[in-house]
Amino acid sequence: MANRWINTLTEKDVTPEAAFMNRRQIMGGALAGIGLAGISSSASAAPEGLEPNTYEEITSYNNYYEFGTGKDDPAKYADALTIEPWTVEIDGMVDKPGAYAFEDILKAMTIEERLYKFRCVEAWSMVIPWNGFELADLLNMAGVQSGAKYVAFETALRPDEMPGVAYPVLDWPYVEGLRLDEAMHPLTIMATGVYGKDILKQNGAPLRLVVPWKYGYKSIKSVVRITLTDTQPPTSWNKANAREYGFYSNVNPTVDHPRWSQATERAIGSGLFSKRIETEMFNGYEEDVAALYAGMDLTKDT
């Protein structure tokens, strides 16, 4: 299938693999999902790229709170996560509920590459070539029942493999949700790979959600349950701090985070002290997704 959902991005825009893996080092000591205070809102031209980081940097910095809040904790501890075998429980308002083996899902899906921009609520961004399949294909395989309005997601919870869940950073397990029309949109994918390689455990192996017009924390990692429901599901960061993290979490440069501006962003790989670039509405995917929110006040429905 032709991939038209790449905006004007080209291979030249892809964030270097090293910089992608090393983004937490570049962000310094910021706590992911909580972010940086006092970020400058001055916009500028796009910054120049950086040379790739070393292998040690690539594999030592990441974010996955179930393995700890330190930048290097996921790389230290995520190898303990058992991903074979892996099943995804699909339940709720579906015709064929059950535990779907990951390998069976892969056999039934068409895997393709999607070149997407990724925007974090912390005000940094990158461009990533994901490998994966449209979430709509998986939901259609399970059979969405009439009356379903939302899709809820749940991350694996393995206290014996995930040392971070011993601490009440969030209300475990990590949960997220989308409106059904958002979930069925062809931009929304379940990613199984990055840069043509299997997703590393610290990055959400073996299966994670990617919704490119929303802030990155919506793209839940290591999914073990998908539930179709007629009720808006709870989401982890909204439960933790509803004032700062809404259900929709659309990239909207006109709505600041209570503690910093969202008007600009730093492109990872462009240098720690580079000038900032303007953030685009819906992360640059406005033409494709704005119709989903017709009639809504996006300064209130955040």
Q: What's the rounded Cα separation, in Å, for the pair 111 and 224?
A: 19
> Residue 66, annotated ligand binder?
yes
Is position 131 within any domain?
yes
Residue 239 marked in a binding site:
no
Q: Is 71 annotated as a binding residue?
A: no
How many CB atoms sit inside 10 A of residue 83's CB? 15
| pLDDT per residue as tens digits for the range 192-201 | 987 788 888 8
pLDDT at position 57: 31
Domain that holds residue 64: 11-293
What CATH number does the domain containing 114 carry?
3.90.420.10
pLDDT band at 3 (very low <50, low <70, confident <90, very high): very low
120 is in an annotated binding site: yes
Residue 302 has pLDDT above 70, yes or no: yes
The response to whether 222 counts as a known ligand-binding position is: no
- Tell me whether residue 167 is annotated as binding: no
Does residue 2 lie in a domain region?
no
- The set of residues, in sequence order, having a beta carbon less than 8 Å from that of 213 and lying 6+ positions away, is 187, 250, 251, 282, 283, 284, 285, 286, 288, 289
Residue 283 assigned ligand-binding role: no
Q: 44 lies in a domain?
A: yes
Q: How does pLDDT run across 88-115, given as a tens digit for each residue? A: 999 999 999 999 999 999 999 999 988 8
**214 part of a folded domain:** yes
- Whether 3 maps to a domain, the answer reads no
Residue 152 has pLDDT above 80, yes or no: yes
- Report how many domains make up the chain: 1
Do the annotations mark residue 62 as ligand-binding? yes
